[in-house]
Amino acid sequence: MATTEQCRAALERLARNLAEADDDVRGAAAVERSVSCRLTDLDITFTGRLVHGRIEDLTASPGPPTERAQIRLTMTGDDLVSMVEGRLDFAHAWARGRVRLEAGLRDLLRLRSLL
């Protein structure tokens, strides 16, 4: 089972990947939105802001999120680490119910190039 520290590192790596992505991907992530990533196996939620293709102000708190973020992910810590490392395809995990993504329709359309 992935640890909280491994999951934080995975989210920070995801943030670096977004910042270093090509123009099309960076453009899709150029919106400013609140984000949360709930890790069900660790009973922890990471929250932050997606700003100009970067995840900023990343914090962790126990339990479910206290506020509803505009972009919400739910998964296990192992799945998060596997996705960021490229061992688990997001679309495959989402189709099998291993990952849950909730966002407004406009955000989903923008984010499709990231996933």
- Mean pLDDT across 83-103: 90
Q: Number of structural domains, the chain?
A: 1
Residue 104 domain boundaries:
4-111
Task: Give the list of residues 6+ apart from residue 111 with CB closer than 8 angstroms, or none.
Answer: 28, 29, 71, 101, 103
Letter for the amino acid at 28? A
The DSSP output letter for 27 is H
**For the purposes of burial, counting CB atoms within 10 Å of the CB of 7, is it exposed (0-12), middle (13-18) or buried (19 or more)?**
buried
Task: Tell me the CATH number at 38.
Answer: 3.30.1050.10
At 36-67, the pLDDT tens digits run 999 999 999 999 998 876 788 999 999 999 89
Residues 79 and 96: beta-carbon distance below 8 Å: no
Band the pLDDT of 2: cuts 50, 70, 90: very high
pLDDT for 81 equals 96
pLDDT for 115 equals 52
